[in-house]
Structure 1
Amino acid sequence: MTRDEFELEMRAAGFTAFTEVSREADGHLDTHSHPFEARALILAGEIRIESDGLSRRYGPGDIFHLAAGAPHSEDYGPAGVHYLAARR
């Protein structure tokens, strides 16, 4: 999915806030949550998200989804990660 396709699909689904996020190589965020629902398109690098006891890796072109309030942790690949997040 391209960036433009992602934005169009997210807007159609009611997402109105978009932000680009970059995280450092081999970084980590401990378990936390957000007060908003998020879907994100990975533009470069990779991220591993652990939530509900499951761990999943996302790379370029993949989309991840986090419900509002969902506890999760994040680990970033050797090149870090850069993604476009849609929030509502």
Structure 2
Amino acid sequence: MNTINFETFQKQSLEAGFDQVLERKWAADTVVPTHTHPFSVQALVTQGEMWLTCGGVTQHLAAGGTFEMKSDEPHSERYGAEGATFWVARRHA
């Protein structure tokens, strides 16, 4: 299994043109209704699980799972019984 630490994720993301990298933690059973962000994202789930719905398609993501979204893409999020933590790289327009 290929493991990566936050510093490596951050370095690779900045080299790829993302301008902000941070860790996000969500509480258990949190539901975030459909919304958008004014930036594109690339993320890696590091703990827990989540469900991400974009364009009517739902992805179940657990530790090691990755996702990407374009700027202003409508999506919703739901977090599992233990919540979730992910590292996210953002590229502001």
- Please, what TM-score do these two structures have when normalized by structure 2? 0.87
Q: CA deviation at 1:12?
A: 2.2
Counterparts of 2:66 and 2:10, CA distance in 1? 12
- Please, what TM-score do these two structures have when normalized by structure 1? 0.91
* Letter matched to residue 69 of structure 1: D
> Does structure 1 conserve the Cα–Cα contact (< 8 Å) formed by 2:13 and 2:21?
no
Counterparts of 1:41 and 1:31, CA distance in 2? 20
Equivalent residues, number: 88
Counterparts of 1:17 and 1:74, CA distance in 2? 21
Gaps of 5+ in 2: none
Counterparts of 1:60 and 1:19, CA distance in 2? 16
Counterparts of 2:15 and 2:74, CA distance in 1? 26
> Does structure 2 conserve the Cα–Cα contact (< 8 Å) formed by 1:42 and 1:62?
yes
Q: Percent identity?
A: 33
Shifted more, 12-21 versus 32-41: the winner is: 12-21
> Does structure 2 conserve the Cα–Cα contact (< 8 Å) formed by 1:36 and 1:68?
yes
Could you list the runs of 4 or more consecutive aligned residues of structure 1 that deviate by over 6 angstroms after TM superposition? Answer: none
1:42 pairs with 2:40:
no
1:2 pairs with 2:4:
yes
Give RMSD over aligned pairs.
1.2
| Alignment deviations for residues 3-23 of structure 1 (CA, whole Å, 9 cap, x no partner) | 344323322210120111111
